[in-house]
Amino acid sequence: MAGNAVSFAAPRLDDTAQRLLYKIASYLYVGQGFASALYGTGSPSGVVTPAFSGQLYQDTAAQVWYRSNGTTNTSWQLA
């Protein structure tokens, strides 16, 4: 239908969202993807044991991410 073309642009992420996405992507290991990220309420420190070093955990209550720097339940640090 000539003359009736619709164009639209994808929404632009604000700077905070872009930085967060970059930080998350930079910690992911090839082949492990987002399916390997964990989530819950509260800090994972002393509670959740990561499956591998570098695993991500999202505290959904505080809206913060943690990254493991080892494979013990005390290996978590804010990402």
**Contact residues for 71 (Cβ-Cβ < 8 A; gap 6+):** 49, 50, 51, 52, 53
Q: What ranges do the domains of the chain cover?
A: 33-78
Residuewise pLDDT in 10s, the chain (79 residues): 455 655 555 566 666 776 677 666 655 544 455 557 888 999 999 999 998 888 899 999 999 999 999 999 999 999 8
User: What integer pLDDT is reported at residue 45 of this predicted model?
Assistant: 97
pTM of the model: 0.58
Environment class of 30 (CB within 10 Å of its CB; exposed 0-12, middle 13-18, buried 19+): exposed
Q: What is the pLDDT of residue 18?
A: 67
Q: What pLDDT does residue 30 have?
A: 45
